[in-house]
């Protein structure tokens, strides 16, 4: 945030920001591209507070979070002065109680009747927006009071439930994919559940629980997963191929660990996807495969007959150990600008 007093200052600062990468605690060290600059009226404030509405797992519904200390890092306030953070659970059926909102506004630093009424009205309207827009977070920081006593929402962050995209088309049409991880954008187009991480072992798993367990086993063996990727129970050959393309194109990935328990998802479908991906994409990265369950023998036969060089095992611990070992070798070779070829057994 930059404060300007002249038009020329606005133009100068905006030209320096556009096209650059913005790095904050929220963006991570890689930052986000700055494609737009929002210019708004400068207000002289005598008070800055914090207000948010979010979905709270513990209470099973919306939670209002407020503080008299706004305009700063709210995480720091929570860590250093937790007594200044005030929570108000809200019933989805009944909505917020006016008396509770008045008390919350007072705790935020709006004790007098007129300013209290303004704060309460803003909180009610924000809650209405939260419900109507299928939001998962509305964060206003600061909720400020100008020198004339007017209460304003001066900066805000909103998150929306992806599952409501079908009925919030206008909101989701505003989506800016340049601000997102390109790997996650590509995965979504193929209807894959994917979250990018910072490690170098690509994971391809069916089932969220198994995916989490797979990442844990990799960590326990000294490795770092490059992603969470859940194929789900109904993936087809094309989706499996798309998943491999995603991992193959990721420059951070040194090795790929496939961990499939065939229940709803058949192992032979995974094997066909692996073979198709290896053939079409020219997969160069080493692949460690652990398959178990439905059609597993058929899957092994397909892989064996394909002639592709892949490491297979029935044991997850062994699969993780192999993936970590292979990834480390590939990483060292890349750093030394050497090519590496893996001969079986490894």
Place of tokens 């994919």: 177
Rg (CA), the chain: 26
Is the preceding peptide bond at 345 cis, omega within 30 degrees of 0?
A: yes
At residue 323, what are phi and psi to the nearest 5 degrees?
Answer: -60, -40
Contact 221, 245 (CB under 8 A): no
166 is catalytic: no
Q: Which of 48, 50, 115, 194 is catalytic?
A: 50
Signed CA dihedral, 151, 154, 157, 161: sign only:
positive
Q: Which of 48, 69, 115, 139 is catalytic?
A: 139
Start-end of H helices in the chain: 7-17, 74-80, 98-108, 113-132, 169-172, 182-189, 208-220, 237-249, 267-281, 296-306, 316-335
Half-sphere exposure of 89 (CA within 13 A, CB side): 8
103 is catalytic: no
**Which of these, 147, 312, 320, lies nearest to 222 by C-alpha position?**
320
For residue 103, give both structure tokens: 């008390």
Residue 182 neighbours by CB under 8 Å, 6+ apart: none
Residues recognised as catalytic: 50, 139
């Amino acid at each position: 945030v930059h404060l300007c007093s002249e038009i020329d200052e606005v133009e100068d600062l905006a030209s320096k920001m556009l096209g650059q990468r913005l790095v904050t605690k929220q963006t991570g060290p890689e930052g986000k591209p700055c494609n737009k600059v929002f210019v708004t009226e400068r207000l002289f404030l005598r008070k800055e507070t914090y207000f948010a509405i979010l979905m709270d797992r513990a209470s099973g519904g919306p939670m209002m979070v407020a503080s008299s200390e706004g305009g700063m890092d709210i995480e720091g306030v929570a860590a250093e002065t937790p007594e200044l953070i005030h929570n108000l659970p809200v019933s989805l059926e009944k909505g917020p109680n006016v008396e509770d909102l008045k008390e919350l506004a007072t705790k935020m630093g709006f004790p007098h009747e007129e300013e209290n009424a303004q704060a309460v009205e803003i909180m009610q309207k924000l809650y209405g927006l939260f419900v109507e827009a299928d939001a998962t977070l509305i964060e206003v920081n600061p909720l400020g009071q100008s020198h004339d006593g007017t209460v304003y929402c001066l900066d805000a962050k909103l998150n929306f439930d992806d599952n409501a995209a079908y009925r919030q088309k206008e909101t989701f049409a505003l989506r800016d994919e340049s601000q997102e991880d390109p790997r996650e954008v590509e995965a979504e187009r193929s209807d894959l559940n994917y979250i990018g991480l910072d490690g170098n072992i690509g994971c391809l798993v069916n089932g969220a629980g198994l995916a989490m367990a797979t990442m844990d086993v990799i960590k326990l063996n000294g490795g770092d997963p490059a992603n969470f990727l859940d194929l789900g129970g109904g993936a087809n050959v094309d989706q499996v191929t798309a998943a491999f393309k995603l991992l193959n194109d990721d420059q951070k990935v040194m090795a790929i660990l496939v961990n499939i328990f065939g229940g709803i998802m058949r192992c032979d479908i995974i094997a066909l996807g692996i073979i198709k991906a290896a053939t079409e994409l020219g997969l160069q990265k080493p692949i460690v495969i652990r398959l178990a369950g439905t059609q597993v023998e058929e899957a092994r036969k397909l892989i064996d007959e394909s002639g592709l060089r892949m490491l297979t095992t029935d044991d997850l611990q062994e699969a993780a150990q192999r993936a970590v070992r292979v990834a480390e070798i590939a990483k060292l070779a890349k750093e030394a600008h050497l090519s590496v070829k893996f001969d079986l057994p490894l």
